[in-house]
Structures are given as structure tokens and as C-alpha cells.
Amino acid sequence: MKERDRLMEQGYSLPAEFDRLRAPSSAYAPRQVVTYLCTREHLVSVPFAVEVEVPDVWECRCGQPATRVIADEPNSAAEE
């Protein structure tokens, strides 16, 4: 399951630019979009270059610390 689908199932709404940030473009370096969740349940999507080390904590737009959302690894036992 994709990160976006998993978050939407949990009741979170994603920013409109989420898909735009993920779209490939030759004008930019290869990138990854990392999602953070703050203590006030705001989702923050931040694009990073693929080669950089992504921080575990990011400052939310409300000023609170937001922790990185790590997508669950697919469980092969659950698929059987």
C-alpha cells in the first residue's frame, strides 16, 4: 500500500501539492517526498534530493516539531 493511501485511510488529508511534488521532472535533481506529522496532527510533505540525509524531525507550519512518517514494510505473511 502506498504511503498516501495508508494516510488517507487513517483519516488524514494530504496537501494538494503532494502529487505534484512526486511528479518526475528533468528540471530538478531526483527527489523524494518525505511526510511528517506534528503533535497537532498536521501533515507536512517536504521534497528532498535523493542523495541527502533526511531528518527525523521537521518544523511544522504551526511551529511544533513534526516527526517523520515511516511507511510500514509490506508483510509477506499478511499477503498469503
Q: pLDDT tens digit string along 25-49?
A: 677 778 889 999 999 999 999 999 8
Q: pLDDT tens digit string along 4-25?
A: 677 777 777 666 666 665 556 6
pLDDT of 30 reads 85
Instruction: Answer yes or no: CATH 2.20.28.270 is held by domain 3-23+30-72.
Output: yes
Can you give the residue ranges of every domain in the chain? Answer: 3-23+30-72
pTM here is: 0.59
- What's the average model confidence in pLDDT over 52-77? 84
30-36 contact pairs (CB < 8 A, 24+): 34/58, 34/68, 34/69, 35/3, 35/7, 35/68, 35/69, 36/60, 36/66, 36/67, 36/68, 36/69
- What's the average model confidence in pLDDT over 60-75? 83
